[in-house]
Amino acid sequence: MAMNSYTVALLVFFINLSLSWGADEGLGASFIFGDSLVDAGNNNYLSTLSKANIPPNGIDFSATSGNPTGRYTNGRTIGDIVGEELGIPNYAVPFLAPNATGKAILYGVNYASGGGGILNQTGRIFVNRLSMDIQIDYYNITRKQFDKLLGPSKARDYITKKSIFSITVGANDFLNNYLLPVLSIGTRISQSPDSFVDLLISTLRSQLTRLYKLDARKFVIGNVGPIGCIPYQKTINQLTQNQCVELANKLALQYNGRLKDLLAELNDNLPEATFVHANVYDLVMEVITNYAKYGFVSASKACCGNGGQFQGIIPCGPTSSMCSDRSKYVFWDPYHPSEAANLIIAKRLLDGSTKYISPMNLRQLRDL
C-alpha cells in the first residue's frame, strides 16, 4: 500500500519524537554506588576474593540466558529492577567493563563493588574492592565524559534534572570491618560503637557532598538491613531459625538512626538536592518475619550453598547445593537476597509509602 505525503510526514514526526526521547534527551541515567547488593560486575575486573561471575549465580538472569554476570544473586539486583521500572531502557553498565564507553553511559553507570564500604579499609579481607571514595573518583571520570558527549550545559541539565543516584552501602563496614574478628580486634578495642558510627556518618557526609558538587541532585540512600539475620551470621553464631544476632542488628539500627538525621541535614543544607531515605532495614525485616505471607518457604536458609559441613558460610559456587525453586527463598546465598526478595524490596521503594521510603518514593523522585 502506497503511503501519502501526510502519512510519511506523520511517520517522520513519530520517528523524530522517539529519537528525542532516547538516551540523549529522555529519562536520564541511573548511577549506582555501593556493595555486592547492587554490584553488576565491577569485581569481575578486579583481582579479588569477592566475585560472583561463576555459576550458578545469574541462573535466572534472562538478559544473559542464565549465564553469570558478576551479580551476587540468581537474577536481577534491586538496582536493575528499579531502572527497568523507571523506564531506563538499558541496565547501568559496570564502570570497569570494556563497553562502559560512548553513548552506553547515557543510560547510567554502576560503580558498586562486592566488599566495598564507606571506609577505605572496609573489605580488605577480599584484597581488592572499590570503596565509596574510589567509586566517586570513577564517577568524576564519567561526569567529564558526559560533558564531551552532550556538551557542558546539556550534560549538567541531564544529570541534575533527570538522573538518579542510588547508594547502597554500610553493611560491609560492620560485617567485613568492625564485626570481623580477624580485622577488627584492634578497631573494636580502640573504637566504641558510637565513635565508629560517628566515623561512618562523617565520611558519608563528605562523600555525598562531593557527589552534590559533581551535579548529583536526586539521591536515594538505603540504610543498613538486618545484617544479624542473614544466613551467614546465623550459621557462625549457631542460632535457631527465628533468632538473629543482636549485636549486628543493634549496630545497624544505631547507624540507621544517624543516617536518617544526616539525610535530613543534607536536605536542609544543599540547595535543589533531594535525599530520599530508603528504610531497607524495616522492609527486609518485614519480609524475613512474615516470609510465608510473601510465598517463601524459608528466610533463614540460603537457596545456594546451604548444604554440607560449611552450610551458610561458603559463598555460592559450581559445587554448591542449590534449592529446586529459587523463588521460594528470601536469601539466594549466605549473604544476598534472591531475585524474588529483590522484587518485593524494589516495588516498595518504587511505589511504597513513607513507612519504607521518604519523603517520597522513587517514581515521585523521578518525576520531580
For 92-102, b/e burial (b = at least 16 CB within 10 A) is: bbbbbbeebee
233: cell is 551470621
Residue with cell 541532585: 217
Helix (H), strand (E) at residue 109: strand 108-110
277 is catalytic: no
> Out of 36, 50, 113, 338, which one is annotated catalytic?
36
> Out of 39, 131, 333, 338, which one is annotated catalytic?
333
Q: Residue 158 in contact with residue 216, Cβ under 8 Å? A: no
Query: Which value, to the nearest 10 degrees, does the dihedral of the CA atoms of residues 109, 110, 111, 117 take?
Result: 150
42: cell is 565491577
> Out of 35, 113, 336, 338, which one is annotated catalytic?
336
Residue 118 identity (one-letter amino acid): I
State how far the Cα of 165 lies from the Cα of 135, in Å rounded to an integer.
12
Helices and strands (H, E) in the chain, number of each type: 12, 9
36 is catalytic: yes
State how far the Cα of 33 lies from the Cα of 131, in Å rounded to an integer.
10
State how far the Cα of 151 lies from the Cα of 153, in Å rounded to an integer.
6
CA dist 156 → 176, 218, 243, 284, 364 (Å): 36, 13, 48, 35, 21
- The residues pairing with 277 across neighbouring beta strands, listed in sequence order, are 221, 358
Q: Residue 106 in contact with residue 27, Cβ under 8 Å? A: no
State how far the Cα of 34 lies from the Cα of 280, in Å rounded to an integer.
14
Residues designated as active site: 36, 333, 336
